[in-house]
Structure 1
Amino acid sequence: MKIGIYGQFYHEKSETHIQLILDALQKKNVEIVIEENFLSIINKHQNISPDFSNIATFKTLDSSYDLFFSIGGDGTILKSVTYVGDLGIPIVGINTGRLGFLATIQKEKITESINQILNDEYIISERSLLTISTKPLNSEFTNLNFALNEVAVNRKNTTSMIKVETEVNGKYLTSYWSDGLIVATPTGSTGYSLSCGGPVMDPSTNSIVITPIAPHNLNARPLVIPDSSTISLKVSGREESYLVSMDSRIATVKNNTTITIKRASFTVKFVQLMDNSFIKTLRKKLLWGEDKRN
């Protein structure tokens, strides 16, 4: 079995968690390949005991990997998706951060969870993505033109609102006078969209949610549509340009560019332990069902 390992940062006490991960994998004689920059971060800390001199590194992935371990929080997961792309490699999210909706393996159960995964005691949760294109063409969207959580447009360098003309399947929906607009997947519904009043959607739901950011027209509300829909946006405002984000990646786009958003042609696979579920994660992370009156 060949496993890629990736992380972005070295959190407090990260060496403890990384040590547990490497020990669990090496006991099973797994082929480990560590992302080049992450290995350099690990090497700067002297508290990890394995000898890394014989461990291979990668800059990009190929289809030879069986699993991809993402060590960190949800931000690291989003970055991991840009490595995996359409290769179909299942992602194992190990949460060493804080909230962690996507990274479902908790640091307290690293060894136990990894052993379950290596024994094939897991299921795959497939997540849809969004893809983006522009007219005229914007070179910043040519390579990584997909997002797991959301595509969002936001005002830039101004306190003035922007106007987002929105069409669905070629039919005019409305013009949002707002600070911006979010188009989110079910996976992304618990992120930026939720903080702007959008609904929580189960990842298996074949839907997209359109959520305005601080709308000035107060009758504007989040809208859930089928993920077979094609959404077109055209932004105008006092500034000559605005921002478009795809998860954590941001680009500057000129006014009156037509942005087309639709479901991507591929999905991303997440490893989910047998005793876990979206409902369980939701209840735990949002503290649902807890009596706070005392």
Structure 2
Amino acid sequence: MKVAIFSQFQKKKPLASLEVLLDVLNKKNIEIIIEETFYKGVSPKLNTDYPTFNTLDASYDFLVSIGGDGTILRAITLVRDLNIPIVGVNTGRLGFLATIQYDEIEAAIHAILDKKYAISERSLLTIESSEDNSEINSCNFALNEIAVSRKNTTSMITVETELNGEYLTSYWSDGLIISTPTGSTGYSLSCGGPVITPDAASLVLTPIAPHNLSARPLVIDDSTVITLKVNGREKKHLVSLDSRIATLSNKTTITIKKAPFTIKMIVLNNETFLDTLRKKLLWGEDNRN
């Protein structure tokens, strides 16, 4: 068995999780390959040398991401369409994707090696633009959301929106979020969007601080092709794909649709999305009780 390890951090908490993870995998004689940049930061603190990677191929059995949900969003840019399952060790805060806590690492790895898990297929979004942009073209997909927003201005922008070629509306706002079910508990939720279960075949359009107060989040079928054109006082606007940002000129045609591949998340048998919701959003918690 061959396992990839990825993280963005070399701090105390991720390092402690890495040490536990390495100990468990080494005892099981698992082949371990660590992402190159991460390894450079932590290698002086490890007792053993490990091979590294900067790109992945389909030979890996699974990838362990150490960090928060943002680290997993970075990991998918390496996994892409290789169908490598991802499991997240949480050293961040909320953690809807990275759900394994430090004291659960050993048990979780044993469960994975014993095949006591399920695969949650997570849909992604892809983006195309009429303006050639290397930042978008090099990695044109997102797991959580694709958003357009204003740049270098306090003025609102107008986001002309079409669904399957039919005009919907022009959002007069700070921007617009197009979210997957996975991303519904992220940026979209913070802007008043609904929570969508991961297996729902839906997308949600969530305006960011709309000036027309009747503009509400809209849930649509995930087969819908979304076309956007942005206009405003500034000549350019921002497009974000999860945590990656690009700049496009106004009136550029942006086309967003469901990606032709999915990301596979490892879900242990004792985990459910509803249980995660209750824990992370403190549903049912009341200081009076």
> Does TM, normalized by the shorter one, top 0.5?
yes
In structure 2, the residue matched to 1:191 is: 186
- Is the deviation greater in 28-37 or in 130-139? 130-139
Q: Does the CA-based 8 Å contact 1:231-1:260 persist in structure 2?
A: yes
1:152 deviation in Å? 0.3
Counterpart secondary structure, 1:103: coil
Unaligned regions of 5+ residues in structure 2, if any?
none
1:99 deviation in Å? 1.0
CA distance in 1, matches of 2:122, 2:231: 32
Deviations 1:95-136 (A, max 9, x none): 111111110111121111111111111110000000000013
Q: Residues 108-123 of structure 1 correspond to what in structure 2 (within 5 A)?
A: 108-123=103-118
Amino acid at match of 2:203: I
Residue 182 (str. 1) matches residue 187 (str. 2): no
Counterpart secondary structure, 1:208: strand
Deviations 1:63-93 (A, max 9, x none): 1111011010011000000000000000011
In structure 1, the residue matched to 2:52 is: 57
Amino acid at match of 2:167: Y
CA distance in 2, matches of 1:198, 1:217: 16
Unaligned regions of 5+ residues in structure 1, if any?
none
User: How large is the Cα RMSD of the aligned pairs?
Assistant: 1.0
Q: Does the CA-based 8 Å contact 2:131-2:248 persist in structure 1?
A: no
Residue 204 (str. 1) matches residue 199 (str. 2): yes
In structure 2, the residue matched to 1:238 is: 233
Q: Does the CA-based 8 Å contact 2:13-2:91 persist in structure 1?
A: no
TM-score scaled to structure 2, two decimals? Answer: 0.98
Amino acid at match of 1:51: T
Q: Does the CA-based 8 Å contact 2:146-2:177 persist in structure 1?
A: yes
CA distance in 1, matches of 2:29, 2:101: 23
CA distance in 2, matches of 1:14, 1:268: 23
Q: Does the CA-based 8 Å contact 1:11-1:96 persist in structure 2?
A: no
Amino acid at match of 1:15: L
Counterpart secondary structure, 2:139: coil
Q: Does the CA-based 8 Å contact 1:140-1:251 persist in structure 2?
A: yes
Counterpart secondary structure, 2:12: coil
Counterpart secondary structure, 2:18: helix
The match for 2:221 among 219, 222, 226 is 226
Counterpart secondary structure, 2:282: coil
In structure 2, the residue matched to 1:26 is: 26
Ranges of 4+ aligned residues in structure 1 off by more than 4 Å: none
CA distance in 2, matches of 1:180, 1:174: 13
Amino acid at match of 1:243: L
Amino acid at match of 2:6: Y
Q: Does the CA-based 8 Å contact 1:67-1:90 persist in structure 2?
A: yes
Amino acid at match of 1:175: S
CA distance in 2, matches of 1:240, 1:253: 9
1:291 deviation in Å? 2.2
Query: % of aligned pairs identical?
Result: 63
Counterpart secondary structure, 1:65: coil
Deviations 1:230-270 (A, max 9, x none): 00000000000000000000000000000000000000000
Counterpart secondary structure, 2:19: helix
CA distance in 1, matches of 2:60, 2:241: 25
Aligned pair count reads 289
In structure 1, the residue matched to 2:91 is: 96
